[in-house]
Amino acid sequence: MKKHTRRSFIKTASAASLAFGATPLLAAKTDRKYRTALIGSGWWGMNILREALAAGRSTAVALADPSSDALEISAEEITDLSGDKPRTYQDYREMFAREKIDIAIVATPDHWHALTTIAALDAGAHVFVEKPTGHTVKESRAMVNAARRNGKVVQVGLHRRIGPHHVSGMEFLRSGKVGDIGMVRCFVNYGGGVEKPTPNSRIPKGMDWELYCGPSALRPFNRRIHPGGWRNFMDYGNGTIGDWGVHWLDQVLWWSEEKHPKRVFSTGGRPVRGEAVNDGQAQTSDAPDSQAATFEFEDFTCTWENRRFGGHNSEKHNVGCYFYGSNGTFHMGWRDGWTFYPNKRGAKEVHADPQFDNVKDGHNMTPLWADFISAIESGKDPVCEIEASHRSSVLPMLANLSLKIGRSVEWDGEKELIRHDPEANKLLRRQYRGSWEYPEA
């Protein structure tokens, strides 16, 4: 059994702290361990919990997941890793009723983010919730309200606000070296072709599929949904714009310090993957295979585009943001770091390599988690605090809303309403299934 030490995360935490003024972890007054629970004990949730354990400030006390297999595997892994013996629950409500939890990690599909996060906050826990905040706008606002009324810290998994090359890239953008920026283009592009329907199959033993679907539609079980495919089912996720887009649109709000777009338009479809199928025998995913969205801001235009066909062999970068300014173009990327392409003749490109805690994953979870603990202990806001993260999450939600309704929407960000369009406003929330209640803001 490995004994976990604080290793290199201390360095990155300090770097982040200096950048954001939060109290460095080294100055923490106690060695208190937080009773930590994980809701959504699959691949990504376990990644976050492992980070938490490695940081040395958590004891894993409980796991919640609709799949008893996932619970058993994850609990065993945690015990082997740290000696902790987390109790396992299929229903998170039972978990909160029985356990005293200081920190809850929410790593469920999007449709479960709101209810679990609010339950955790009302039970007195701080929350680390994955992005995007919620599945529809009003439930996401309800999450913000729950955080405020309970006085708890919420960190959202928009780790690109703390990733070192994002921080240095943002400094470069703000330095004026790119000039006046009038447009930002965000994108992710993949290759791919038609999607054939996958036959529905028997619910795996031990999976409470009714609970998995929860407040959303009860689809027949299909291995395209689980494991790993729910992001492309609009019942459970928000497509590529909700999964990937939110990260890059968040970079735009971070850079501009804008709060709300004035108007949003989106179009897209499945011209290549083919019409979505859900016919009782088989299913395909139903998220668009291509989507374009425009966000009007006061002083600039922001666009989003994603494709699941065509690849990107004609372009250098397959993901990120291009900031177009009077001095040139700045690309904020993932594994390609950031690059400034100046207009001026003879001027050299400026580039920063990506820096990750581990190159393979390409994420920044270690400093994000450290910042979370730091925020809990210092009282200062975490770097991805819930209000700002909610506003970033609203962008893909509005785009999907515009796509669904077939027209642009004028957004009143202060009131969180769409102007002149009662039909559109209905889509800011949705009907929960059965006895699950949509959380009102």
Partner 1 sequence: MSFAWPAGGPKALWNAAVGTGFSSLAIADGRVFTMGNEGDRDFVRCLDANTGKLIWKQGYDCPLDPNLFEGGPTSTPTVAGDRVYTISRLGQVHCLGAADGEILWSRDLAAGDELSSPGWGYAGSPVIHGKLVLLNVGESGMALDKATGETVWQSEPEEAGYSSPVVFQHAGRDLGVFSSGKYFSAVDLASGERVWSHRWLTRYGMNACDPLIDGDLIFITSGYGKGCALVKHAAEEPEELWKGKALRSQLTVPVKLGGFVYGIDGDENAREPSLKCVSFATGEEQWAEAGVGFGSLIAAGDKLIVLSAKGELITGQATAQGWKELGRAEVLKGKCWTPPALAEGRLYCRNAFGDVVCLDLRSPRS
Residues that bind partner 1 (CB under 8 A): 43, 69-70, 72-73, 76-77, 80, 196, 198, 201-202, 204-205, 223-224, 227-229, 358, 360-361
Task: In angstroms, give the least distance from the CB of 167 to partner 1.
Answer: 23
Q: Closer CB to partner 1, residue 221 or residue 254?
A: 221
Task: In angstroms, give the least distance from the CB of 64 to partner 1.
Answer: 17
Q: Closer CB to partner 1, residue 87 or residue 380?
A: 87
Task: In angstroms, give the least distance from the CB of 1 to partner 1.
Answer: 9
Q: Closer CB to partner 1, residue 133 or residue 284?
A: 284
Q: Closer CB to partner 1, residue 49 or residue 332?
A: 49
Confirm if 354 and 334 have CB atoms less than 8 A apart.
Answer: yes
Q: Closer CB to partner 1, residue 77 or residue 84?
A: 77
Task: In angstroms, give the least distance from the CB of 193 to partner 1.
Answer: 10
Task: In angstroms, give the least distance from the CB of 260 to partner 1.
Answer: 37
Q: Closer CB to partner 1, residue 236 or residue 254?
A: 236
Task: In angstroms, give the least distance from the CB of 32 to partner 1.
Answer: 28
Task: In angstroms, give the least distance from the CB of 203 to partner 1.
Answer: 10
Q: Closer CB to partner 1, residue 198 or residue 425?
A: 198
